[in-house]
Every structure is written in structure tokens, then in C-alpha cells.
Amino acid sequence: MRLRSILKLWPLLSNLVNSPWSNIRSLVHGIICNWVKTDVLHYEAAIQKRFLSALTKLIIGLLSSKESECRTGGLNILGSLCGLSYDFDCWTGEI
């Protein structure tokens, strides 16, 4: 059910990735990183294939962008897909 919800929101987020405002792009990169850090292999094959196809197109577009922020976002999403994401749940708010 989670992946189906993600796929419903995907068109909106893939449009926001191209926003002229960098803070919106950064927020969308973070949302996608959070989504892909779950184990995609546990989802049914047809939905998994659809999600990975859309994600691959997005990552390729980000990595081939001229903007360094977009390339960084693409690398962060790719890292999250590989299990290399930062765990924000353990942050206490203290500096």
C-alpha cells in the first residue's frame, strides 16, 4: 500500500524536482531519499518494476543536470536506494 501511495504522488514530486526554488528541490530530494530507503524488494513485482523505472529516470535526469545541487540530490537518492542514507530518527536536536 505504501508503494502504491508513492506512485500516486510521483507525478507531483517529479514536477517539483524541476522547481526554480532550490529549497523545494532539496525538500523533494529528501522525501524521495526517505521513500527509497525502505526495502523495495518486499513489494510485489509489477509495482516494484514501475517504481524502479520511474526512479531510474529521475536519477539519470538529476545526475546529468548542469546544476550541482541536482547532481548531489541524485547521488543522495542513489545512496538511499543502496542503503547509505542518514538516519534522522536518531537526531536529538542538540548541537
Helical pair 68-81 and 45-63, crossing angle rounded to 10 deg: 150
Domain assignment present for 27:
yes
Per-residue pLDDT, averaged over 74-86, amounts to: 81
pLDDT for 17-69, tens place per residue? 888 898 898 888 888 888 877 666 677 788 888 888 989 999 999 999 998 88
Domain assignment present for 71:
yes
Query: How many C-beta atoms lie closer than 10 Å to residue 7's C-beta?
Result: 13
CA atoms within 13 A on the CB side of 22: 7
The range of the structural domain enclosing residue 56 comes to 2-81
Can you give the pLDDT at residue 59?
A: 93
Domain assignment present for 92:
no
CA 17 from chain centre, in angstroms, equals: 10
pLDDT at residue 1 greater than cutoff 70 = no
* Total domains present in the chain: 1
